[in-house]
Amino acid sequence: MNEWRHPNHRPAAALPAELRRAPVPEGVREWVHLRAGSPVVSLRRLPGASSTAVHALRLADGEVLVLRRYVWEKFRAEEPEAPAREVDALEYAGLHGLPVPEVIAADPYGAVVGDGIPTLLMARIPGRAQPTPDVRALAWQAAQVHAVSGSGFGHRYFPWCRGTSTAPPRGCRRPDKWEEALGLWRSAEPAYEECFVHRDFHPGNVLWLRGAVAGVVDWANACVGPPGIDVATCRWNLHRWAGEGAAGSFVTAYEDLTGRAHHPYWDLAWVMEHDWDLVADPERVWAAEDMLAQILPRLVV
């Protein structure tokens, strides 16, 4: 049997320096003790996190909780609202019956702990992320998220990287296609019925237990917006981890379950929402070009 690996696994060398070490300081452990009512006796780093440090904490009373700390300075600078937004999203999703971790305690600005690092303490959901999941069950879970209207949720969708994805990237082979894609991204957004959106819905953020979805995690980007951006995010991550067939089957299943056709604009938007002005890796650029070659012919304006 192959050893399980989180689908979002990153080699340590590929992580920011803050995430490579990311200890849990004594002051944070004391904060957990005060909030949870029991001291931390052991901890282990959880796999898959690439923007925050995530640990499982075992307490003296036997309970296991999950600690998420926003230790990466660049992420905090670019997304200062993310920690508070995640707390809001978890509470909102829980109120609407979605399978999310319960918030035990939160210090979204690091003011209480005192080190300036936003910190979130959550109940642990048993289960593992799977790179090749049951795509129909995955589509059903996406549909359940989108069945929530988003009414009363105070965070709204906006396109990422409009200021740093402005021109064909260095090393691209088809600058004409990049120009076409960038133009369509800015001009061809279709009408949509807004709803609650995870904004980073993919197999790495869905936990499974005994063949069923056990929970959905990592809600830092949640918003009220287009369901298509979640479908596209999941589609292209599945394409990478499970293959083109699984990706296509996921989209078909979602359309069957919701009666809502997936618009290829959102696939384009997902590709464009990266810092292409700053990317110097030609292999990454070429992989994006391969995606654009599949998307652009389907995007009829």
| pLDDT tens string 69-119 | 999 998 999 899 999 999 999 999 999 999 999 999 999 999 999 999 999
Q: What is the DSSP string of 249-266?
A: HHHHHHHHHH--PPPTHH
Domains and CATH numbers, the chain: 12-124 (3.30.200.20), 135-298 (3.90.1200.10)
Query: Among residues 101, 129, 109, 102, which one has the least CA distance to residue 234?
Result: 129
290-297 mean pLDDT: 95
120-127 mean pLDDT: 97
Burial 260-293 (b: 16+ CB within 10 A, else e): bebbbbbbbbbbbbbebeebeeeeebeebbebbe
pLDDT surpasses 70 at 3: no
Residues 6+ apart with CB under 8 A from 77: none
239-264 mean pLDDT: 97
Find where tokens 């490579």 sit: 20
pLDDT, position 80: 93
Identify each DSSP E strand in the chain by its residue range.
Answer: 40-45, 53-59, 64-69, 103-107, 119-123, 128-129, 195-197, 206-209, 212-216, 223-225
Find where tokens 């009220």 sit: 224
